[in-house]
């Protein structure tokens, strides 16, 4: 029997409603509750492509990359309190580990909960990258690489351009990670990926394959190098930021105008404004194809305010008598940008209380104008501000006295803009190629600017640096975030003479490690009775000897689908410690010998579920059976592990 559990792709994550939804759409395609694919093909007709040659992305190793999704991780996330800041109160997570295994472990707890993902993956420039090719034994490889298991060392994966699988290896590394990341996004969520021109074309096709071409939002050009790479025939100055959304309902926000962009230079009783013509200036639209947007507007030319604006109405009378139609300068019929309903909603009793007004033009005719009040703007597809330069990221790391330890960090402003476009207060931001931790600093800074409380989840492989002070990149990452927190807190106390206690400035440090429970190491077809007996004796106590109660608790929370920040409290029931989860929704007792009174005390509190250790019953089948019956009678889900 393998130590890893193999599951069908559709079970990552499980979605029992898929089949029901398909059955509701195509009941004729089902026979005895099974899909009849021949019938389904006939029903869909031309929508099914049956020829072998088809459009799409394929590469050597794609089947193995998909195969990687079929294995659940048997690892866990171990809390590391000594590396954390405000461990018991913070909801931010920094996870040390291979991101493929981490993403698998997060599937239940964070499925559909992440609002935004930002990643800066390896650019595949011909250097080596760490992530192993052996997808099936990913955790085993990681434990050896990180020194948690004895090994001669895990080889890095060569992606040199001379290698025939130069692109294939990179795609095989990215595919399962992006697939699992999509599961974590909410329906309103967005993903931003920094990339250069080595893989932008493949990444675009890969994202179309995983997310769907219709969910492509933008391919933003970012000026990352002001001088350019002068050793090339054309000095390249840019990188890309690829943006996709989880669904068609997802919408990005707009950005607040900076002071130099402020064009609202007029003011009325409602607020500041500028004006723009209400007529639709696009020559494609007019009365011929938008008849509902072609109608007369009437102007009261006798009631001008001090700026020359006149009130307007849809109703003609002796006060509002001057008719205005949406005609261009050649008197050709066009149309308004608004229908009558929206027009009425924006008209006030006079010019000072109205968002629609009229003003006379130089030729004596009247124009209809909207008072434009927006303080936000849509970002363009080229980001060329100096704040987005990689050099700026280095300067920011130098301010934290860490620049010498991490080359080419992403600038904070780049990720801040992504956070501002995609998130609001309370949202979760995920970065599973966290590097030096720019994403954490960006989230902290955006929260400070708008008094929000976004949370982040960062994951980073403990890639070795060869630096004694910071042996791995994760050490640099955690230290950077600690210094950012310290600097922000000191700034608050110095400038504001106060500390914003409402904002979460901390992080839980977690480490990917092997399960706290012993994994069955038998092999299929094994017939050695002595070996089997030895395994059974070993599993009489299935906990590893060095597993702490908190380690075990976190593993249970992860594998039960609880958010790792779920409220938890250690209480006493009949003199034994019990963890109350989500204010009594669940009870977890990790005592290795449990009292009958403790079990009855948990039942009396009527939680939804109770979890205990197997060994807590010490082979007392009568107590276990009686407990199970009592739990069933009380409608409590009872599990032993």
CATH code at 396?
3.40.50.150
Whether residue 88 has pLDDT greater than 50: yes
Residue 256 is assigned to a structural domain of this protein: no
User: Residue 511's pLDDT band (boundaries 50, 70, 90)?
Assistant: very high
Give residue 531's pLDDT: 47
Distance of CA 263 to the CA centre of its chain: 34
Domain that holds residue 498: 72-241+386-513
Residues 483 and 621 in one domain: no
Mean pLDDT of 575-590: 96
Residues 340 and 393 in one domain: no
235 vs 80: CA distance, rounded Å: 45
Residue 86 is assigned to a structural domain of this protein: yes
**Residue 439 zone, left/alpha/beta (φ > 0; ψ -120 to 50; rest):** alpha
Give residue 538's pLDDT: 41
Give residue 104's pLDDT: 95
Distance of CA 186 to the CA centre of its chain: 8
Give whichever of 144-153, 162-171, 230-239, 585-594 has the largest mean pLDDT.
Answer: 585-594
Give residue 397's pLDDT: 96
Residue 202 is assigned to a structural domain of this protein: yes
Residue 400 is assigned to a structural domain of this protein: yes
Q: Among 430, 426, 481, which Cα is nearest to 454's?
A: 426
Domain boundary among 313, 348, 374: 374
Residue 251 is assigned to a structural domain of this protein: no
Residues 102 and 236 in one domain: yes
Residues 608 and 544 in one domain: yes
Q: ∠ CA(248), CA(30), CA(32), 5° rounding?
A: 140
User: Residue 196's pLDDT band (boundaries 50, 70, 90)?
Assistant: very high
Residues 352 and 390 in one domain: no
Whether residue 496 has pLDDT greater than 60: no
Whether residue 162 has pLDDT greater than 80: no
Domain boundary among 374, 400, 415: 374
The encoded tokens of residue 197 equal 């021109």
DSSP 53-69: --SS---TTHHHHHHGG
Beta strands in 499-538 (DSSP E): 508-514
Helix/strand/coil for 571? strand
Domain boundary among 464, 483, 513: 513
104 vs 102: CA distance, rounded Å: 5
Residues 87 and 155 in one domain: yes
User: What tens digit of pLDDT does each residue of 407-442 get?
Assistant: 999 999 999 999 999 999 999 999 999 999 999 999
Q: Among 357, 337, 13, 41, which Cα is nearest to 179's?
A: 13
640 vs 623: CA distance, rounded Å: 13
Report the predicted TM-score, pTM, of the whole model to 2 decimal places.
Answer: 0.81
Whether residue 392 has pLDDT greater than 90: yes
User: What tens digit of pLDDT does each residue of 443-485 get?
Assistant: 999 999 999 999 999 999 999 999 999 999 999 999 999 999 9
User: Residue 523's pLDDT band (boundaries 50, 70, 90)?
Assistant: very low
Residues 400 and 509 in one domain: yes
Give residue 166's pLDDT: 72
Q: Do strands 455-460 and 93-96 pair parallel, antiparallel, or not at all (unpaired)?
A: parallel
Residue 380 is assigned to a structural domain of this protein: no
DSSP 409-427: PPPHHHHHHHHHHH--TT-
Give residue 537's pLDDT: 44
Do 531 and 538 meet the contact criterion of CB atoms below 8 Å apart? no
User: What tens digit of pLDDT does each residue of 555-575 get?
Assistant: 999 999 999 999 999 999 999
What is the percentage of the chain residues whose pLDDT exceeds 70? Answer: 85
Whether residue 68 has pLDDT greater than 90: no
Residues 21 and 124 in one domain: no
Whether residue 13 has pLDDT greater than 60: no
User: What tens digit of pLDDT does each residue of 200-229 get?
Assistant: 999 999 999 999 999 999 999 999 998 887
Residues 297 and 395 in one domain: no
Of 11-15, 109-113, 277-281, 591-595, give the lowest mean pLDDT range. 11-15
Q: SS3 breakdown of the chain: % helix, strand, coil, rounded to 5?
A: 35, 20, 45
What is the percentage of the chain residues whose pLDDT exceeds 90? Answer: 65
Residues 506 and 533 in one domain: no
Query: What is the sign, positive or negative, of the torsion defined by CA atoms of 328, 331, 334, 336?
Result: positive
Residues 369 and 455 in one domain: no
Residue 248 is assigned to a structural domain of this protein: no
Q: How many domains does the chain have?
A: 4
Q: How many other CB atoms are found less than 10 A from the CB of residue 204?
A: 19
Greater model confidence, 23 or 123: 123
What is the pLDDT of the chain when averaged over all its residues? 86
Greater model confidence, 104 or 349: 104
Residue 523 is assigned to a structural domain of this protein: no
User: Residue 541's pLDDT band (boundaries 50, 70, 90)?
Assistant: low
Residues 503 and 541 in one domain: no
């Amino acid at each position: 029997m393998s130590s890893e559990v193999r599951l069908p792709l559709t079970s990552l994550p499980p979605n029992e409603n898929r089949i029901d939804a398909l059955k509701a759409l195509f009941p004729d395609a089902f026979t005895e509750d099974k899909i009849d694919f021949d019938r389904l093909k006939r029903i869909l007709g031309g929508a099914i492509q049956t020829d072998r040659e088809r459009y799409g992305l394929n590469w050597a190793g794609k089947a193995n990359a998909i195969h990687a999704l079929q294995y659940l991780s048997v690892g866990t996330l171990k809390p590391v309190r000594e590396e954390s800041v405000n461990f018991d109160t913070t909801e931010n997570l920094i996870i040390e580990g291979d991101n493929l295994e981490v993403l698998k472990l997060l599937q239940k707890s964070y499925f559909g909960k992440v609002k935004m993902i930002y990643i800066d993956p390896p650019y595949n420039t011909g250097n080596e990258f760490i992530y192993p090719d052996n997808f099936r034994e990913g955790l085993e490889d990681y434990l050896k690489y990180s020194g948690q298991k004895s090994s001669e060392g895990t080889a890095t994966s060569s992606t040199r351009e001379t290698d025939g699988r130069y692109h294939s290896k990179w795609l095989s590394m990215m595919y399962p990670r992006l697939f699992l990341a999509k599961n974590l996004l909410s329906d309103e969520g967005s993903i931003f990926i920094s990339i250069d021109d080595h893989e932008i074309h493949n990444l675009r096709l890969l994202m179309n394959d995983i997310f769907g071409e219709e969910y492509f939002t933008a391919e933003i050009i970012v000026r990352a190098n002001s001088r350019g790479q002068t050793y090339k025939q054309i000095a390249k100055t840019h990188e890309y930021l690829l943006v996709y959304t989880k669904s068609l309902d997802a919408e990005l926000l707009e950005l607040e105008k900076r002071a130099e962009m402020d064009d609202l230079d007029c003011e009325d009783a409602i607020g500041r404004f500028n004006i723009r013509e209400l007529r639709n200036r696009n020559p494609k639209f007019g009365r011929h194809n938008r008849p509902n947007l072609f109608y007369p507007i009437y102007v009261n030319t006798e009631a001008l305010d001090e700026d020359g604006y006149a009130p307007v109405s849809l109703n003609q009378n002796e006060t509002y008598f001057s008719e205005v139609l949406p005609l261009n300068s050649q008197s050709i019929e066009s149309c308004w940008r608004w229908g009558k309903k929206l027009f009425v909603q924006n008209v006030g009793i006079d010019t000072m209380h109205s968002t629609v007004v009229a003003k006379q033009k130089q030729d004596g005719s009247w124009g209809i104008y909207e008072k434009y009040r927006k303080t936000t703007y849509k970002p363009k597809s080229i980001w060329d501000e100096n704040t987005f330069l990689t050099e700026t990221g280095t300067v920011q790391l130098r301010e934290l006295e860490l620049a010498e330890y991490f080359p080419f960090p992403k600038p904070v402003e780049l990720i801040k803009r992504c956070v501002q476009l995609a998130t609001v207060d309370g949202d979760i931001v995920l970065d599973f190629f966290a590097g030096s931790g720019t994403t954490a600093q960006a989230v902290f800074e955006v929260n400070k600017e708008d008094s929000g409380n976004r949370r982040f989840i960062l994951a980073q492989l403990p890639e070795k640096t060869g630096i004694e002070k910071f042996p791995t990149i994760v050490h640099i990452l955690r230290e950077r975030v600690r210094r950012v927190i310290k600097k922000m807190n000191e700034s608050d106390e110095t400038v504001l003479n106060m500390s914003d206690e409402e904002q979460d400035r901390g992080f839980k440090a977690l480490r990917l490690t092997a399960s706290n429970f012993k994994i069955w190491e038998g092999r299929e077809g094994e017939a050695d009775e002595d070996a089997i007996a030895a395994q059974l004796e070993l599993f009489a106590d299935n906990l590893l000897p060095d597993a702490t109660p908190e380690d075990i608790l976190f593993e249970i929370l992860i594998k039960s689908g609880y958010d790792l920040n779920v409220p938890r409290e250690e209480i006493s029931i009949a003199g034994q410690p019990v963890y109350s989860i989500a204010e009594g929704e669940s009870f977890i007792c990790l005592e290795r010998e449990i009292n009958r009174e403790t079990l009855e005390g948990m039942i009396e509190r009527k939680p939804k579920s109770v979890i205990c250790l197997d060994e807590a019953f010490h082979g007392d089948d009568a107590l276990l059976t009686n407990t199970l019956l009592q739990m069933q009678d009380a409608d409590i889900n009872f599990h032993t592990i």
